[in-house]
Amino acid sequence: MELNDTNPQLEPRPAPENSAEVMPSLEDVLKEAERKAQEHYDAWMYAKAEGENIRRRAIEDVSKAQKFAVERFANEMLAVKDSLEAGLAVETATVESFKSGMELTLKQLSGVLDKFNISEINPVGEKFDAHKHQAIGMLESDQPANTVVSVMQKGYALNDRVLRPALVMVAQAKKTH
């Protein structure tokens, strides 16, 4: 094969004047790769540590939330307790004053329950609902079957979640002869 002036691919290329400028040494390439690897490792370690810190803080926050969740409620209940104690401390209480004090304390307690979205479940006349009521017996009644006839103990719900079901008596289906 002969060198041809018309084919530039076959022409010899001139050698660069300083080959060290054009092509880095393998040692330089290795150092640069090690530097980049160290940067990536450091960034990964930082992200890992930050993730651990976030996880640890979240666990602490949940723990504190559980530990102090009832703090506001407890503070409100202290006022109700104070009222009960004050009522019991009165030495010359009459039945009327005692009843009046109990009514005021009950009103105060109801206000605390309302403030914290605790609602009564008092289902007289409603259809029996096993999610909110606990039937303790059945009664013959003029009301339709499975209707709550009486409430033996009110139930309570917190934000629509049942804390305690109402204990109820339910109307029995009328017997036909």
Is residue 146 a contact partner of residue 154, using CB atoms and an 8 Å limit?
no
What is the CATH classification number for the domain harbouring 128? 2.30.22.10
**Model confidence pTM above 0.75:** no
In a domain, 73, yes or no: no
pLDDT at 129: 95
What is the chain's mean pLDDT, rounded? 88
In a domain, 177, yes or no: yes
pLDDT at 48: 96
In a domain, 55, yes or no: yes
Is residue 117 a contact partner of residue 159, using CB atoms and an 8 Å limit?
yes
Q: What is the pLDDT of residues 24-79, one digit of tens each?
A: 899 999 999 999 999 999 999 999 999 999 999 999 999 988 888 888 899 999 99
Residue 112 has pLDDT above 80, yes or no: yes
Is residue 139 a contact partner of residue 171, using CB atoms and an 8 Å limit?
yes
**Mean of pLDDT values over 109-138:** 95
Residue 177 has pLDDT above 90, yes or no: no
Of residues 13 and 51, the one with the higher pLDDT is 51
CA triple 116-117-118, angle to 5 deg: 95
Residue 127 has pLDDT above 80, yes or no: yes
- Residue range(s) defining the domain that contains residue 56: 24-68
Cα–Cα distance between 88 and 92 in angstroms, integer? 10
In a domain, 176, yes or no: yes
Joined together, the tokens standing for residue 3 give: 């060198």
In a domain, 104, yes or no: no
pLDDT at 13: 59
In a domain, 163, yes or no: yes
Joined together, the tokens standing for residue 52 give: 């651990």
**H or E element that contains 175:** none
How many separate domains does the chain show? 2
N residues, the chain:
177
Residue 143 has pLDDT above 60, yes or no: yes
Residue 15 has pLDDT above 80, yes or no: no
